[in-house]
């Protein structure tokens, strides 16, 4: 029997109730893990973190209100030693890059075996990272690619939303010529053949997400 003070204290952040309840039940069956709390979204996670003080937090990425990356960033401002495992269905290279930049120690996809998840929790609790090879490969590709500027990202978000150049110009208070220049630049950086291709790539890579 593992003593309570030797168990790894885990905080679960997941917006889907069935997934959250399943995770809590599975983790609670592991003798070395104690689930000390849960949150339904990033904002609730930020608000509850200091009262829970877990050893490891399992963080979903895409949640209504406040997404996982922002929650990680906010928590680490007051708890820089906080340890996070991202557990998500999103495997776009930009999602992975942003999560690791925010401070996640591991990036796992939902559907992994329980043994893998517990082993990752052990590793992260011990101060190590855990990135599966397929995730590491995508991260390496992203690190080697050209960064979009904040303005190009704003334009790309509106392309994904179906806005025309004239509408984007109005939204951002810039000229249509400037919009066209940004579009040409981001097409080149993404390796996209046209606006539709750029929108598809943006969604596939996790650069832009559709509203939940």
Position 142 scores a pLDDT of 79
Pairing of strands 56-59, 8-13: parallel
Closest CA to 37 of 54, 55, 15, 62: 54
Taking only the tens place, the pLDDT of each residue in 97-109 is 899 999 999 999 9
By CB atoms closer than 10 A (0-12, 13-18, 19+), residue 167 is middle
Position 4 scores a pLDDT of 61
Domain ranges of the chain: 4-142, 150-205
Averaged over 147-153, what is the pLDDT? 89
176 Cβ neighbours under 8 A, 6+ residues apart: 165, 166, 169
Position 17 scores a pLDDT of 94
- Answer whether residue 127 shows pLDDT above 70: yes
Taking only the tens place, the pLDDT of each residue in 154-194 is 999 999 999 999 999 999 999 999 999 999 998 988 888 88
Q: Strand runs (DSSP E) across 40-166, as ranges?
A: 56-59, 84-88, 106-109
Q: Which residue has the tokens 């750029």?
A: 198
- Answer whether residue 93 shows pLDDT above 90: no
Closest CA to 34 of 15, 18, 12: 12
Domain 4-142 and domain 150-205, same fold? Reply is no
- The dotted CATH code for 4-142 is 3.40.50.2300
- Phi, psi torsion values for 37, nearest 5 degrees: 170, 170
Taking only the tens place, the pLDDT of each residue in 20-54 is 999 999 999 999 999 999 999 999 999 999 999 99
DSSP bridge partners of 49: none
Q: For Cα atoms 50, 118, 98, give the angle at the middle one, nearest 5 degrees.
A: 60
Global model pTM greater than 0.95: no
136 Cβ neighbours under 8 A, 6+ residues apart: none
Structure tokens at 31: 């003798």
**Can you tell me the distance from the alpha carbon of 71 to that of 27, in angstroms, rounded to the nearest whole number?**
22
- The dotted CATH code for 150-205 is 1.10.10.10
- The DSSP 8-state label assigned to residue 55 in this structure reads S
């Amino acid at each position: 029997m593992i003593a309570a003070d030797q168990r790894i204290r885990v905080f679960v952040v997941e917006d889907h109730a069935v997934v959250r309840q399943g995770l809590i039940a599975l983790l609670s069956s592991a003798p070395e893990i104690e689930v000390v709390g849960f949150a339904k979204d990033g904002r609730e996670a930020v608000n509850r973190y200091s009262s829970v003080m877990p050893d490891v937090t399992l963080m979903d990425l895409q949640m209504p209100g406040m997404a996982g990356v922002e929650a990680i960033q906010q928590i680490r401002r007051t708890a820089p030693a906080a340890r996070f495992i991202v557990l998500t269905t999103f495997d776009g290279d930009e999602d992975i890059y942003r999560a690791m930049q925010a401070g996640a120690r591991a990036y796992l996809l939902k559907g992994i075996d329980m043994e893998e998840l517990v082993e990752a929790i052990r590793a992260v609790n011990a101060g190590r990272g855990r990135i599966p090879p397929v995730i590491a490969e995508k991260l390496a590709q992203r690190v080697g690619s050209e960064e979009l500027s904040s303005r190009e990202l704003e334009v790309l978000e509106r392309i994904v939303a179906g806005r025309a150049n004239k509408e984007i110009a109005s939204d951002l208070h810039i000229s249509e010529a400037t919009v066209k220049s940004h579009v040409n630049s981001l097409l080149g950086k993404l390796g996209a053949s046209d606006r539709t291709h750029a929108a598809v790539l943006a969604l596939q890579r996790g650069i832009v997400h559709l509203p939940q």
